[in-house]
Structure 1
């Protein structure tokens, strides 16, 4: 497996750990911001669910991105979320030398029902990393509305965003 891919995901998950270390539990759980009234914790939990679906379905070659655990402890307890992030990071490190010369069955709901498509392990992990960045951006909006500043360079920005367009980093 490509070391750069795992390293990039690891760094992105480290950003979540840094964020959680900077927030108090009340802010982590705050769901007062509309229009969706979701919390930082619910977005962290959601991104971790995505990685868990990959990890849990890999051996059976049946990754179902709709089979999320939705463990509410991860939404409400930032220490539990940090521990789960670290477990995911350890698992991903074990994939560095894995054989990835085969296709995986990945199921998701595209809005009109479930569909199963073929991915490589690299492609589904790239998808999970981009998905996490997308949710980090939503977290950034929530924190902005709560009048809190995220001071993690690049947090919530896709690495391909032009640097001069990245306000607040």
Structure 2
């Protein structure tokens, strides 16, 4: 299995660990300022990104603006776990050519644009995107006073550890 997919699976396992710990009311709690987003909206957003990749069409186009945005995934842990398991299964059982060129449609703030990527690049972006959203989820967990014992959750692997900066 490709290292990009291995890394992605390792990152997504953190979603599984988190969802196993949460109740539905915590998943959909959007009470914290300033953005009033929930853990569930971030998990759904992460998984939708991967789902867009798997919806690669016959013209080899991935449309990141065409997301499913399921409210059940945002509010029900069972639905989120099922969606996550579907993504993990597709990642695990598909042999991707990471050098294959694809077209990615995204909206960078000025309307939809089309960008050339490789599958390796879009999966790498998806993994980094996931870690970024884990950092936001970490703030929400803190605000909701939910303990999640994963010291690497929300940290990019290249982020220096506090102990290494003290030496």
Give the TM-score, by structure 2 length.
0.92
Q: Aligned equivalents of 2:159 and 2:98: distance in 1? A: 29
Counterpart contact for 1:18–1:152, Cα < 8 Å = no
Tell me how far 1:59 sits from its aligned partner: 4.5
The answer as to whether partners of 1:103 and 1:120 remain within 8 angstroms in 2 is yes
Specify the alignment match of 1:28 in structure 2.
27
Partner of 1:126: 124
Give unmatched runs, 5+ long, in structure 1: none
Q: 1:86 offset after TM fit, Å?
A: 1.1
C-alpha displacement of 1:11: 1.0
In the other structure, the counterpart of 1:74 is 73
- Greater than 4 Å deviation, 4+ residue runs: none
Superposition deviation, residue 28 in structure 1 = 0.8
Q: Which residue of 2 aligns with 1:4?
A: 3
Determine the C-alpha separation between the residues in 2 that align with 1:165 and 1:78.
35
Number of paired residues? 164
Q: CA offsets per residue over residues 104-144 of structure 1, 9 Å max, x none?
A: 00010010111111111110001011111111110000111
Gaps of at least 5 residues in structure 2 are: none
Cα distance change, pair 101–142 in 1 and its aligned pair in 2 (3 A)? closer
- The TM-score, its normalising length taken from structure 1, stands at 0.91
DSSP-derived class of the 1:30 partner: coil
